[in-house]
Structures are given as structure tokens and as C-alpha cells.
Amino acid sequence: MQQKAEDQGQSRKARRCPICGKPASEAERPFCSRRCADIDLHRWLSGAYAVPVRPDDEPEDSALDEPGPEQG
């Protein structure tokens, strides 16, 4: 068994823009540019203000049949 852990890349130092994947800029960390920073902000705001939509089309079926602990 010979396995060397070569998982220590230098991806910790050089951050990448979470939006486009380009190397982040020092001025607009962790983004690469103001544009990407704006996009991220917009996304965040959109998600924060938007109401989470969930499928509420299914009919209510009393599903209170949880497999509880055995009782005796």
C-alpha cells in the first residue's frame, strides 16, 4: 500500500470568482470584477426577497403514520 496524499494544491491561496471561475481580483475579492460582485449581490437579493416556491399542488393526505418506536 503506497499512497501519497497529493491533495495539497495551492487552491487555497488563489481564490476564484464564484461567478465565472476566473482568478479573483484583489480589489473585488472574492470576485474577479465588480461586475461579478454585482451579479452575486443581485442573486443574493433576489433569493432573499423572493418567496420560496414549493409544490403545493398535492392533495393533503394525512400522513401521520410515522414509524415510531415499538410500544408494548
Q: Specify the residue, 22 or 42, whose C-beta has the smaller distance to Zn ion.
A: 22
Closest by alpha carbon to 29, among 43, 41, 46, 16?
16
Q: Choose which of 6, 8, 13, 20 interacts with Zn ion (CB under 5 A).
A: 20
Residue 22 vs 43, nearer CB to Zn ion: 22
Question: Applying CB under 5 A, does 32 fall inside the site for Zn ion?
Answer: yes
What spatial distance separates the first Cα and last Cα of the chain, rounded to whole Å? Answer: 52
How many residues bind Zn ion (CB under 5 A)? The answer is 6
Angle at 63 between CA 60 and CA 67, to 5 degrees: 170
In this complex, which beta carbon is closest to Zn ion, that of residue 3 or of residue 46?
46
